[in-house]
Amino acid sequence: MKKILLITFSLVIALASFAQESDIEWKLFPSKADSLMAKDTVKTLDRAAVPGKVSINKDERIDRVSKDLAGGASQRPIVKGYRIQIISSSTKATVDSERGRFMSHNTGESSYTDYKAPNFKLLVGNFRTKLDAQRFQQQISDVFPNTIIIADEIELPKLD
């Protein structure tokens, strides 16, 4: 058993010493001659050359969508005013059902769903004065008794 172990050990040492005798020269860092970097292209640019031209071909609908998202011509001016909060809930489904109930009464006022984490709020109306908001609050108090008036930025009404 000792002979087999001795032979195996000497064979491992012989192979290890043979593996280290190679022609490869190992370096820690490449020298400048071995560098893969190309010449400095900024220094070799010809400043007198004619500048290139770029043409952009895009669909005209992209500009329309960008303008709408930025609030361009499609959005009415915004001023300080008041809205009435009908419900505040952490689930959007609850707010949507209340919105449907409000729309079924056909009051003619706009409704908005506002999300400020973690609650969804149903806001209605675009009232310039608090007195106008209080009048509308009285009109809907039979159906929606727990409403509050909120100062908010509102859209100006359309001019006929």
Q: How far is CA 37 from the centre of its chain?
A: 38
The pTM (predicted TM-score) of the whole model is 0.53
Residue type, 144: F
Give the residue with greater pLDDT, 67 vs 104. Answer: 104
Does residue 151 have a pLDDT over 90? yes
Enclosing H/E stretch for 103: helix 92-104
- How confident is the model at residue 64, as a pLDDT? 81
Rounded CA gap, 63 and 61, in Å? 5
Which of these, 145, 140, 147, lies nearest to 105 by C-alpha position? 140
Give the residue with greater pLDDT, 106 vs 18. Answer: 106
> Residue-wise over 116-154: b if at least 16 C-beta within 10 A, else e?
eeeebbbbbbbbeeeeebeebbeebeeebeebebeebeb
Give the residue with greater pLDDT, 59 vs 19. Answer: 59
- HSE at residue 160, side-chain half, CA atoms within 13 A, is 0
- How confident is the model at residue 75, as a pLDDT? 61
Identify the structural domains of the chain with CATH numbers, from first to last: 78-155 (3.30.70.1070)
What is the per-residue pLDDT across 66-98, written as a single tens digit (0 to 9) for each?
777 766 554 667 889 999 999 999 999 999 999
What is the per-residue pLDDT across 11-24, written as a single tens digit (0 to 9) for each?
667 666 555 555 56
Which of these, 109, 44, 104, lies nearest to 83 by C-alpha position? 109
